[in-house]
C-alpha cells in the first residue's frame, strides 16, 4: 500500500510479507516495512521481522477438541459446510500419514526491529 502527494513531496508505503514452509501450516516468517518519503527522499521508518519454527504443537493445543479456542472452530461450522468435502474424500485424506504431527521440532522464534 502506498501514497504520494506530489504537491508537497511527501508520501510513504507499507510492505508486508508472509512466508510459509512446506513443512508447516504456521507462517515461517512475517515481515512488515514502513517507508516514508519526505521531499523526494525515501526514509526507512521501521522494519519488523518475526521468524517462527516449531509452534505447530502449541497451535494444535489451542484449537484441538478441548483447547481454549476449540469453541471458535465449532462456531465457524457454517464456513466449513460451504467448503466441505464428501465423506469418501475425507476418509481417503484421513488415511494419509500425518507428516506434520510426526515431525515437531524444538520451538524457535526470532524478532528483529529496526527503526
Q: Quick: pLDDT tens for 88-104.
A: 777 777 777 765 555 66
d(CA 27, CA 6): 37
pLDDT tens digits, residue range 43-100?
999 999 999 888 888 877 777 766 666 666 555 555 555 456 667 777 777 777 765 5
| Rounded CA separation 86/59 (Å) | 26
- Strands 2-5 and 41-53, by their bridges, are unpaired
Closest by Cα among 27, 1, 31 to 14: 1
Whole-structure pTM over 0.75, yes or no?
Answer: no
> 62, 53, 42: which is closest to 109 by C-alpha?
53
The domains of the chain are located at 2-111
Q: Is the pLDDT of residue 105 over 80?
A: no
Amino acid at each position: 500500500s502506498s501514497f504520494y502527494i506530489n504537491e508537497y513531496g511527501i508520501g510513504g508505503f507499507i510492505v508486508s510479507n508472509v512466508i510459509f514452509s512446506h513443512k508447516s501450516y504456521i507462517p515461517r516468517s512475517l515481515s512488515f516495512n514502513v517507508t516514508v518519503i519526505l521531499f523526494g527522499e525515501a526514509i526507512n521508518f521501521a522494519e519488523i521481522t518475526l521468524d517462527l519454527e516449531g509452534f505447530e504443537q502449541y497451535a494444535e493445543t489451542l484449537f484441538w477438541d478441548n483447547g481454549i479456542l476449540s469453541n471458535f472452530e465449532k462456531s465457524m461450522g457454517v464456513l466449513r459446510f460451504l467448503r466441505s468435502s464428501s465423506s469418501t474424500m475425507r476418509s481417503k485424506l484421513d488415511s494419509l500419514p500425518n507428516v506434520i504431527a510426526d515431525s515437531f521440532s524444538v520451538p524457535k522464534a526470532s524478532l528483529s526491529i529496526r527503526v
